[in-house]
Structure 1
């Protein structure tokens, strides 16, 4: 009975992980549908503009001194908006497709299922999102614990990580319930095989960079 209970509990855990994967895929599908509708509308607008180009386009007047000032101010605001957006952007790892999972050698997969692999991807995304939300916040808005985390995150960066999103083992422990055991190390190897991440070692740390 005890063994049966353990197996039922394991099955329930797998089902919960599968439900999370399904929800994530459903959300992605909705986003793609919205993107398709937006693209279709833009395509129709471009077609309308192409079909209704006036025979004579009005000449652009040279901007006055005041107009130049307004244009420069507008350009500055646009640049600041782009910089702010880039700072707040957090990249996430794409889920593994069925074909990608099937391409992983059997010796590397072992007993890890498709659902378990994508559950690990979700855990990595959780760690990345939590980490970079703290990094993107001002020091004044953070509590003492988050300030220490932010300082640690910055100290772990190097010239080789510039422009990349990455996590280390401590981030998994901080933000998820993932156990850094041999099974999870095997999952990381599978994700490297699928070109979702790469390892960067240095300074006594292993950094997992998202590709």
Structure 2
């Protein structure tokens, strides 16, 4: 206990002596400041202090810039890692339906359609010309377009389901316009009835465009014309693949 008390007393004395030394040093500095011969030196020291202060400010700005750059690099690294994961996911889950670079077309005799329509009106059929007409198809939906479709519009409909319907729509378009480009003499009675229905469904607004109606979907495909089908048609309209043309109690789906 005696040794402990002695140690504490020595620490207290050391602390008091240090404070006394600090006070003496402050008094000496104050006295030096009043000495005119020391003022030039003090002014020089003051200028140096200002220079050091400015240098420290610049260093602080540079440190902040470096910290901001570091944060930016971290964000870039996170983005790159996220893009790499997405690319790896796409590589591992390549969809069965890939978008085509251009809208594919099927070539069929063109003038034949015009001459056959005229034959119905004049009751006389003419031979088809050698020129061709292209049947426009609906282009498949890309993954980017699918991502941009509003969630309320997609619901639980998947990317593959949409493109499956696109293929069936193209099948109906091909089936319809191949019949329109056939010779009336070569048609069976059921096909001839379809041909006349197709002609009756045309209007002045459908001139030069390709379109189908729900009856064509039922005739040439196995699709169910139900609520989900109409939801997919709504998505296709949003993606500017088809547009509606109404008249005479029919909804015509025009290929864009």
Tell me which interval the TM-score lies in, with the shorter structure as reference length: 0.5 to 0.7
- The alpha-carbon deviation at position 141 of structure 1 amounts to 1.1
Q: TM-score, normalised by structure 2?
A: 0.51
- The match for 1:115 among 147, 160, 165 is 160
Q: Which has the higher contact order (CA 8 A, sep 6+)?
A: 1
* 1:85 paired residue number: 132
- The alpha-carbon deviation at position 155 of structure 1 amounts to 0.4
Q: TM-score, normalised by structure 1?
A: 0.61
Q: Which runs of 5+ in 2 are unaligned?
A: 1-94, 105-128
Q: Give secondary structure in 2 for the equivalent of 1:145.
A: helix
* 1:203 paired residue number: 248
Q: Give secondary structure in 2 for the equivalent of 1:208.
A: strand
* 2:212 paired residue number: 167
C-alpha distance in structure 1 between counterparts of 2:204 and 2:241, whole Å: 21
* 1:44 paired residue number: none
Correspondence list, 1:1-211, <5 A: 19=96, 21=97, 81=130, 84-86=131-133, 89-211=134-256
- The alpha-carbon deviation at position 90 of structure 1 amounts to 1.1
- The alpha-carbon deviation at position 166 of structure 1 amounts to 0.3
Structure 1 vs Structure 2 CA RMSD = 1.7
* 2:80 paired residue number: none
Which structure's CA Rg is the greater one?
2
Q: Give secondary structure in 2 for the equivalent of 1:90.
A: strand
C-alpha distance in structure 2 between counterparts of 1:91 and 1:183, whole Å: 24
* 1:15 paired residue number: none
Q: How many residues align?
A: 136
C-alpha distance in structure 2 between counterparts of 1:140 and 1:90, whole Å: 22
Q: Give secondary structure in 2 for the equivalent of 1:146.
A: helix
Q: Which runs of 5+ in 1 are unaligned?
A: 1-17, 33-79
Q: Which runs of 4+ in 1 moved over 3 A?
A: none
* 1:49 paired residue number: none
C-alpha distance in structure 2 between counterparts of 1:173 and 1:98, whole Å: 28
